[in-house]
Amino acid sequence: MSKTTASPPHIALLPSAGMGHLPPFLRLASMLSSRSCTVTLITASPSVSAAESSHISFFLSQHPQVKHIEFQVLPCKPSSNPTTDDPFFLQFEASNRSVHHLYPSLASASPPLSAIFSDFAVASSIAPVAADLGIPNYIISTTSCKFFCLMAYLPVLLSDTLCFSSSLSEVNIPGITPLPLPSIPPPFKNPSHLFTSLIATNAQALSKAKGILMNTFDDFEPETLAAINSGRVLDNLPPILPIGPLETFEPKKEQDQSYLPWLDSQPAESVVYVSFGSRTAMSSAQITELSKGLERSGYRFLWEE
């Protein structure tokens, strides 16, 4: 009797706007492709930034075997979102309104899709599409596990008008250490803010996912992963699957790692890591003042630019 060989899985990946979201998806796409999976990358058009467009183009040029689907996001009227003019928040909202147009492309995918890996920011809109197609959907969170807990628990927090009160010093989420109030994103303190409503809406759809993939690992966030997977944070979440650290898909470059011996020699939890991400623009004067403040603080710090 001859043995039948199972076809490799076909995974569709749907990132959302922002350079904090895109690279982890591309790294995962590269990893899956290198393991004989058929991969389809789905991107919104138009993109928000030139950096995203060039990053996608470079990735596809390096991975010609990856299929690519572009879907048009429906334009929105800025006046309909009076709480923000942030182009990334507006793109999140527009993508959510547009994802249902992917139905024909996903339904006709060849070979048929085995799973969809979609961004947290489109969890609520991709869920009914995946359910109608009978395709398991996995949510990818590009944040730390602790911040994911904050997003997942946000609908509960918003139901308490005092949870973000300035009279409080911290925000309490079951199972994890309290979060200092100044560390909470300012929009979260305004329930009507577009970003806040999007996070809360998508958080309520997490229970419909097959699982949640995170670019983290057990040794990095052991307590938080244990708390969320034991149901102490919320009891209706699917399993959190740590899949990190994801390696870069870009050609390997010689990197300066001279800081590692210094970092390894410091006491545990004594170094401040400074990184402002891809969207913060500071003047030379601001950078100078910030560096002076860090030096005068007396804390050890590692600054990534």
Q: What is the pLDDT of residues 199-253, one digit of tens each?
A: 999 999 999 999 999 999 999 999 999 999 999 999 999 999 999 888 776 655 5
Question: Contact at 8 Å (CB) between 179 and 264?
Answer: no
In a domain, residue 111? The reply is yes
Do 51 and 152 belong together in one domain?
yes
Domain hosting residue 284, numbered range: 256-305
pLDDT on residue 5: 62
Q: Are residues 231 and 271 in the same domain?
A: no
Residues 6+ apart with CB under 8 A from 197: 191
pLDDT for the residue 10: 98
In a shared domain, residues 42 and 120: yes
Residue length of the chain: 305
Asked if the structure places residue 172 within a domain, the reply is yes
Query: 129 in a domain, yes or no?
Result: yes
Whether the bond between 191 and the residue before it is cis, its omega within 30 degrees of 0, is no
Confidence of residue 298 (pLDDT cuts 50, 70, 90): confident
Please give the torsion angle defined by the CA atoms of residues 30, 258, 51 and 277, in that order, rounded to the nearest 10 degrees: 110
How many other β-carbons are positioned within 10 Å of the β-carbon of residue 5?
6
Query: Residue 1: what pLDDT?
Result: 47
Q: Give me the pLDDT at residue 78, please.
A: 57
User: Does 135 or 90 have the greater pLDDT score?
Assistant: 135
The token pair at 196 is 């806040």
Q: Is residue 281 located within the same domain as residue 211?
A: no
Most confidently modeled range among 48-52, 72-76, 123-127: 123-127
Same domain, 217 and 141: yes
304 and 170, same domain (yes or no): no
Cα angle 116-202-11, degrees, rounded to a multiple of 5:
5
pLDDT at position 284: 80
Percentage of residues in the chain having pLDDT higher than 70: 91
Q: How many domains does the chain have?
A: 2
- Asked if residue 2 belongs to a domain, the reply is no
Identify the sign of the CA torsion 158, 159, 165, 167: negative
Give pLDDT, residue 4: 55
Look at 189 and 135; give whichever has higher pLDDT. Answer: 135
Residue type, 83: T
Among 97-101, 139-143, 260-264, whose mean pLDDT is lowest?
260-264
| pLDDT of 66 | 97
Domain stop point among 213, 228, 253: 253
What is the mean pLDDT of the segment spanning 52-79? 88
Q: Is residue 1 part of a domain?
A: no
Residue pair 61/251 in contact by the 8 Å Cβ criterion: no
The reply to whether 183 falls in a domain is yes
- Name which of 235, 285, 21 is nearest 141 in CA terms: 21
Longest dimension (CA), the chain: 75
Q: Is the pLDDT of residue 80 over 90?
A: no
| Contact by Cβ (8 Å): 96, 122 | yes
Domain co-membership, 245 together with 273: no
Share of the chain above pLDDT 90, in %: 57
For residues 165-181, give the mean pLDDT: 89
Both 218 and 77 in one domain: the answer is yes
Final residue before a domain boundary, out of 210, 237, 253: 253
Residue 121: C-alpha distances to residues 5, 17, 141, 143, 301 (Å): 36, 9, 9, 12, 32
Mean pLDDT, the chain, whole residue set: 88
In angstroms, the CA 80 to CA 122 distance is 19
| 274, 188: one domain | no
- 3: buried, middle or exposed (CB in 10 Å: 19+, 13-18, 0-12)? exposed
Does residue 3 sit within a domain?
no
CATH number at residue 208: 3.40.50.2000
Query: 24 with 36, same domain?
Result: yes
pLDDT band at residue 67 under the 50/70/90 scheme = very high
> Do 264 and 152 have their domain in common?
no
In this structure, is residue 122 part of a structural domain? yes
Domain-ending residue, one of 253, 269, 290: 253
The three-state secondary structure class of 253 is coil
At residue 132, does pLDDT exceed 50? Answer: yes
Give catalytic residue positions: 21, 119
Same-domain status, 183 and 269: no
pLDDT band for 275, please (50, 70, 90 cuts).
confident
